[in-house]
Amino acid sequence: MAFPLLSLIVFVPAAGAAVVMFLRSDDLVRWVALGFTVLDLTLAIAMLAGFDTGTSEMQFVEKRPWVPALGITFALGVDGISALFVFLTALLGWISVLASWIAIDRKVKQFMVSLLTMQALMLGVFSALDLFLFYVCWEAMLIPMYLIIGIWGGDGRVYAAFKFFLYTLAGSLLFLIGIIVLYFEGGRTFDILALMELDLPFEVQSWLFFAFLVAFAVKVPMVPLHTWLPDAHVQAPTAGSIILAGVLLKMGAYGFLRFSLPMLPEASVHYSTLMMALSALAIVYGGLLALAQDDLKKLVAYSSISHMGFVTLGIFALNPLGLQGSILQMFNHGVTTGALFLFVGLIYERTHTRSIADYGGLMKVAPVYTGFLALFVLSSMALPGTNAFVGELLVLSGGFAANLALGAVAVLGALLGAAYLLGMYRKVALGPASVGARFKVRDVNGREMVAILPLAVFVFWVGLYPKPFLAIIDSSVTHLLQQVYDKGNGP
Amino acid sequence: MTAVALLPSILASLPEIIVVTGACILLIAGQFVPKGRDAVLVWSSVAIVLLAALGTFTLSGGAQPAYAGMFVADPFSVFFKSVFYLAIVLTFLLSRNYADIEGIGGSEYYVLLLLALSGMMIMASATDLLSIYVGLELMVLCTYVLTGFLRREQRSNEAALKYVILGAVSTGIFLYGVSLVYGLTGTTQLDRMAAAVTGDPLDPGLLLAVVFIVAGLVFKIGAVPFHMWVPDVYEGAPTTITAFMSVGPKAAGFAVILRVFLNPLVAGSNVWIILAVIAVVTMALGSFVALVQDNFKRLLAYSSIAHAGFAIFGIVAGGADGVASVMLYLLIYTFMNLGIFGAVIMMRNGNFSGEVIEDYAGFAKLHPGLALLMLLYLFSLAGIPPTAGFFAKFYVLVALVERGFVLLAVIAVLLSAVAAYFYIRIVMVMFMREPERVFEPALTPLVGAALAVTAAGTVGIGLFPAWFLKLAQQSAFGG
């Protein structure tokens, strides 16, 4: 067997968590956690470097028996879609550690253990090739995330943590039954690749589609199952928000790409208009809610709902442009919204308020901070030249091709995005420097800069030269569409 | 029957004989143990159990019928006996210090536990309704007394009295069902019953008999509608006994139910519909009522009702996977439930009872390691992966879906989401509140060892279920 690179990527953070558990000094804990996450990023880069963009086959495949009596294997592998998310997770991992450097000042050890465990499980979700393994990682994530929100969160943390836990748990349980049904339909196997070859009757596909939909729609989240998100985001510590927005939300969309589309193609095609309508609803509704927010974090949270609407819209446009756009947009959203939450966290550490009304004229006090904030705000509203522009353009082209009316609604959402984001920036950064009188706001320091810069690089890189990213996902998208249409609408 | 003809039977039942003999010797010898040397009692009890375990494992291999078909030593019974040994040894370890604190550490305590164990072992091996009855009575008579062991506490006495009265009624119902079966078929042996039936298996007389037997047995595992005793008895009994009862006698009850229900006679009479209803109602009642409990022991009582409901789903599924799933469930439940009870028992120190959930506020801040252990047990009870509790539920669901009971599987998972709420609430109290008191958990080496074993089981089976799954599958009969 080849070098087990993927196992290493998954288990390095887990090993980090185990090591951190035995350390005593808080400073040491922080540095060791940083070390393990940076190592993980290095491994993920090595994985991308060795990734063959010419094929849609799974790469770096590893397979070990786990529970042979039930056909459960420990199987890992990545294709173009998952490779990008493995990289994104590793990228945001060490940034989360940096973002918690001083924001987390009590129970540092427990926090880092939770964070590292979380990262191992997220990487497991994206690289699992066995449904059972996927589900175990998917569900186990609830424990560290529950603790991260519930212990280190804001004043309403207990309520938010509960809501997050129960929503996602209840959503996933039907998914579990769906998995077991698939297991028997596929002749007692949890092998994701084998299950993709199944040709199920339409009725079974429909049931499974909706069982899966609940789980994925809660995670994305799609309106009307989104109400846990604002609570969880507002209460979570900065690192928690970064992970939630950057990685966790992607898992729902990833579930659609990995399971719903290839395994249930007829149902996916049949219900695609419904899904696109729900997505368009999320885009506009999320945007309108964001427009009405005074809390910075809530604003970014609702904007996430709107942006994830674009992602699901692109997926269920079921054409190459839409799919490429939505996968790229998921990566972009991870980078940009992760950065926005980081920025909200940075300013909150200094002022202990998130109310937009408390700010004003920040540009005069913290020019570097507001400069970078402008960059990510512009990226979030998809200004040409930034990463989200490429993604949204592709999604909208795909959306228009699939359904003109819903595409038009989605464009409206893009306009809303400009309204709430620019409005927020104007109130916070421009105008008279009311803030200087009340808070001593220090500008960005070196440690924070290290966390910000890589994200800024990706904003421009994807915005100006998206080709390498599209190359990674290209063959997998083509293959995915073949799976949908060859089975779904074939004779 | 000559002595020589009796020899194979004696060999097959050697573990039971060891336990009973050991208990009798301990009863007499225990009187000579001076006060303050109670450790001797613990270790000799453990030694007796280990000796019996040795006997069980050396004699295992194939089915050995004994006593003219009333008793059998087969892999199925070996599996259950292993669960019992595990449960009782952990109970002994947890009891040592707790019994001192409560002042109940006499030799009778250990003797009664051993005798209850022998009753459970007989139940696991019994293949005749009468030998089932003997085992059952031996077990419950001991647990009646143990429930009332806190002589000076009113609620302990009250619990024991309730338990005796309700238990006696249910045993009576069971016996009545047995007498009906005998009247209709002329035999009480499980495998001869089916052969003796002529005509319609849905004969109303037989159906009535089956319903009576079901009622009597369901009482022992605390399923609805015979669950009323559970919260009171669990709350009133010494916590160590509650811990023991929630896993040992319950597993024994399931062993009997599996044997009786998968008997062709019963299996042919659509009794699974009754069971399916019982399973759904039991799980629903346990989960919803537990939501409003403030007392830790009462909450665990309702949680154990809910878990019994989930395990019954495995019986409903039936077949080789169904039986194996119930067995694996009980094994895993033994680990995680004794773990959480061990933690509660550990908290009993000085004048701190450790029975009120709110009293655990901020426990994680002062004792992060112990709180992490409790978190592990609670998430396992809630069925969150990667703990063993998840795999237990998962396998039951697999068995259900395999038989086409998808709707029941959906109900089961939705109810377990309700149940997750109250486990997570305890985690919340421990981890997300500020401490209001100083905790002095009585973490003696023995309690520590018990917690280590249960934690290892809860994590180990969760991550590497393959071996345990194979064991359960190989021990399951009827497949």
Q: What is the mean pLDDT of residues B82-95?
A: 95
Across B246-276, b (16+ Cβ under 10 Å) vs e yields bbbbbbbbbbbbbbbbbbebbbebebbebbb
- Under 8 Å CB pairs connecting chains A and B tally to 83
Q: Where are the beta strands (DSSP E) in A81-184?
A: none
> Is the CB of A180 less than 8 angstroms away from the CB of B469?
no
Question: CB distance A65–B466 less than 8 Å?
Answer: yes
**Best of B321, B394, B415, B458 to mutate (most A CBs within 10 Å, chain A):** B394
Q: Is A364 exposed, middle or buried (0-12, 13-18, 19+ CB in 10 A)?
A: middle
Residues 6+ apart with CB under 8 A from B387: B336, B376, B379, B380, B458, B459, B462
| Structure tokens that stand for A96 in this block | 């989360």
Question: Cβ B384–A166 below 8 Å, yes or no?
Answer: no
Interface of A with B (CB under 8 A): 65-70, 107, 110, 135-136, 139-140, 142-143, 146-147, 150-151, 157-158, 161-162, 165-166, 169-170, 173-174, 176-177, 180-181, 183-184
Predicted confidence band of residue A447 (pLDDT cuts 50, 70, 90): confident
Residues of B in contact with A174 (CB under 8 A): 410, 413
Say whether B432 and A173 touch across the interface (CB within 8 A): no
CA distance A145 to chain B (A): 13
Predicted local confidence at residue B268, as pLDDT: 63
Interface touch A110/B416, C-beta < 8 Å: no
Interface test mutation site (partner B, options A70, A125, A189, max chain B beta carbons within 10 A): A70
User: Could A176 and B465 be called an inter-chain contact, meaning their C-beta atoms sit closer than 8 Å?
Assistant: no
Contact yes or no for A136 and B406 at CB 8 A: no
Under an 8 A CB cutoff, do B428 and A150 touch? yes
Omega of the bond leading into B225 within 30 degrees of 0 (cis): yes
- Report yes or no: B470 at the A interface, CB cutoff 8 Å: yes
Residues B323, B479 contacting (CB under 8 angstroms): yes
- Confidence band of A340 (pLDDT split at 50, 70, 90): very high
Interface of B with A in 377-416 (CB under 8 A): 379, 384-386, 390, 394-395, 397-398, 401-402, 406, 409-410, 413-414, 416
Give the closest-approach CA distance of B310 to chain A in angstroms: 15
Which residue, among B373, B403, B424, would best test binding to A if mutated, counting the most A CBs under 10 Å from its CB? B424
Rg (CA), chain B: 21
Categorize the per-residue pLDDT at B478 as very low, low, confident or very high, splitting at 50, 70 and 90: very low
Percentage of residues in chain A with pLDDT exceeding 70?
Answer: 97
Could you tell me which of A73, A489, A433 has the C-alpha nearest to residue A268?
Answer: A489
Instruction: Give the Cα separation of B189 and B71 in Å (integer).
Output: 10
Residues of B in contact with A68 (CB under 8 A): 466
Q: Name the residue in chain B with its Cα closest to that of A147.
A: B431
Cβ of A146 and B421 within 8 Å?
A: no
ipTM for the assembly: 0.92
Residue A435, pLDDT > 70, answer no
Looking at residue A336, what is its pLDDT?
A: 92
The DSSP bridge partners found for residue A73 are A65
Residues of chain A neighbouring B420 (CB-CB closer than 8 A): 165-166, 169
- Nearest chain B alpha carbon to A174: B410
- Angstrom CA distances, B119 to B111, B126, B131, B250, B262, stand at 12, 10, 10, 12, 22
Percentage helix, strand, coil, to 5, in chain B?
80, 5, 20
Q: Which of B378, B401, B416, B467 to mutate to test the interface with A (most CBs of A within 10 A)?
A: B401
Residue A490 in this model has a pLDDT that exceeds 60:
no
For residue B331, what pLDDT band results from cuts at 50, 70 and 90? Answer: very high
R_g over Cα of chain A = 21
Question: A223-256: per-residue pLDDT in tens?
Answer: 888 889 988 888 889 888 999 888 999 999 999 9
**Is the CB of residue B203 less than 8 Å from the CB of residue B184?**
yes
Q: CA of A163: which chain B residue's CA is closest?
A: B421
List, for residues A97-150, the tens digit of each pLDDT value: 988 888 888 888 899 999 999 999 999 999 999 999 999 999 999 999 999 998
- pLDDT (tens digit per residue) in B256-274: 999 887 776 666 667 778 8
**Which residues of B are less than 8 Å from A67 in CB distance?**
465-466, 469
Q: Chain B partners of A150 at a C-beta cutoff of 8 Å?
A: 428, 431-432
Q: What is the pLDDT of residues A12-54, one digit of tens each?
A: 999 999 999 898 888 899 999 999 999 999 999 999 988 888 8
Q: A23, A107, A135, A165: which to substitute to probe chain B, counting the most B Cβ within 10 Å?
A: A165
Angle at B292 between CA B290 and CA B295, to 5 degrees: 75
CB-closest option in B397, B470, B473 to A177? B397
Q: Which of the 8 DSSP states describes residue B412?
A: H
A378-408 pLDDT, tens digit per residue, is 999 888 888 889 999 999 999 999 888 888 8
pTM of the model: 0.93
Per-residue pLDDT for A269 more than 50?
yes
Task: Tell me which residue in B384, B401, B432 faces A181 most closely, judged by beta carbons.
Answer: B401
- The candidate with the shortest Cα–Cα distance to B122, out of B194, B222, B14, B213, is B14
Chain A residue closest to B378 (CA)?
A: A143
Q: Are B352 and B344 in contact (CB under 8 A)?
A: no
pLDDT of A178 reads: 92
Contact A136 B421 (CB under 8 A): no
Subunit contact B428:A66, Cβ cutoff 8 A: no
The answer to whether the CB of A68 falls within 8 A of the CB of A461 is no
CB contact under 8 A, B421 and A166: yes
Cβ of B424 within 8 Å of Cβ of A174? The answer is: no
- Where is average pLDDT lowest: A300-309, B56-65, B229-238? B56-65
The closest alpha carbon to A111, from A91, A97, A127, belongs to A97
Is-contact A47 A9, C-beta < 8 A? yes
